Chains A and B, each alone.
Chain A
Amino acid sequence: MAKLVLYRLAFVLPQMLVVSVLVFSMTYLVPGSPAGAVLGPSATPEAIAQVEAQLGLDAPPLQRMGEWFTALLQGDLGTAYRSGMPVTDLISQRLPATLSMVVGGMLVALLLGVGVGVLAGTRPGTKVDRLLTGGTVLGIAIPEFWLGLLLTTVFAAHLGWFPIVGWVPPSTDFLGWLHGLVLPSITLGLTGGAIIARQTRAAMVRSLASPFIDTLAAAGVSRRTILYRYGVKNALVPVLASAGVVFAILIGVSFVAEKVFSFPGLGDLMLTSTIGQDFPVVQGVVLVTAALVVAINFVLDISYGLINPQARPA
């Protein structure tokens, strides 16, 4: 087990390193200078040069990268161009809202997705299967933020069952926090769940078509045991893989859904800094997001190794 963890860790570190380097080089891809963006189109070259020196943009690349990395390892993600506030603070303020939404959505997605997938996969070709599969096709096609908009319009604005402004910090009011999370989780969970359901169904069908199913059935093992112990376990691996993908997707979706549910999360931060070309913030959000995704995939990879003995290092 420890071997598995160390092994996977050996992948994670270079991955984060490369992502960091790529993120850092972002600023060099911009036509013109970010300083120009900060000052506006009417800025004079002197003013730009002055701002550049101020923001430290005129130093040689390697030096800047070194400084950036040292700061990074100390937990300092830089300072925003416009507001001058430390990026780390900006992000940590908004992380809880995003995380709440994404985790809530993942839980719903997994429950719904695996449930629907197993149900459909164990009875392929039947009416139930066709109904459920039709549902997943719809779930994948529907724009998430529109769904959120509809849900809030009906359940929050008109029926009043849920607050229109969904976010309540858990420390202030735990139940309120949960209450406010319901609609966003359902919104994210429905699309994520549709993706997971399709993968699960396909994996179940493949697993149940394997010859060992016949061997066990012929040996007299009950159908239920075969379906749920052997069929499902053999289908788990692709499901885990899709869970990782869905997590990444949901983070992106949450950036948009925030607007609908008025959640003060990373999405809004990303939006303003994208429009304003405020690169330290953009870089910070990208790094943090990448770290989150990598972390989740790390956990999933370990689980994958636990389930499938052939994936463990020899």
Chain B
Amino acid sequence: MTTALAPARPAAGAGRATFAALAARETRRFALNPVFLAAAGLTAYILWSGQRGTVTDINGPNTAAAVLFGGVGMLVAFWLTRSMSASEPVVGVTPVTLPVRTAALCAVALVPFACGCLTLLAFLHFYPIGDPVYGAFSPPARIAVLVGQIVVPSLGGPLLGVALGRWVRFPGAAFVLFLLLSGWVILVMALTLARPDSAPVAVLRLSAPFALFTLHLDAGVTAWRGSPWFFLGWQLALCAIAVLVALLRGVEGRLRSRIIRALGIAGAAAVILLLLAGTGGFTHAVTT
């Protein structure tokens, strides 16, 4: 036996360093996932190919970014979260607790978030903010629309994937949720087309984590009712809820009580913001 048996042990209390190293490790695993890389490549291609033609509708590229960074990001984050579940008998007795591991997993959402930010900048480069394709919204509201359609879904999708992975064992859970959310978005869109001026329908439309604000028809671009700013708030509240639900798994003691209290506050804020989003902004559809 030539191998040494007395290594230098790590110092106890290295909590922050461990979290940072673990978050970096998980982020790298996420960023190098072939499915996510393919999604990022496809988004770039869609943006690049879209800017070559005459753009008449912002919804196409926006939806693609949300689906590919948010939706695919959710799938990848779910897989990543579940990936160590088979090793839980070993992983579960390490000094790093489950909530810390969950927090490190939540950090992977920074990757698609950064991709979303870059996509937003590219989008603004290709389709300047003064372009008529944005409809009747003011320039700041147009930015809010884009952030709510590109950047925040890119952040929220993976967070939802982590929360789902912490609580649901079914391997296809993320895909089922992806289909359900897509179905919900399509359903409320159909309702909006039928009743564009209805406030309850606007609330329903904006209750989806991804929502459209404009529609291009031959008559022009129609901006629907609803406040893009409060919608952003609603989306961010959903992100906070996803993080808190994910962290709730395996937490004990006082921290558990705090998380439950924070969940209550985030839930109440989310409901208020959704109502404000549905009733704020234009009071009826405006076509320009």
- A pairs with B: no
Q: Which residues of B contact A (CB under 8 A)?
A: none
Q: Which residues of A contact B (CB under 8 A)?
A: none
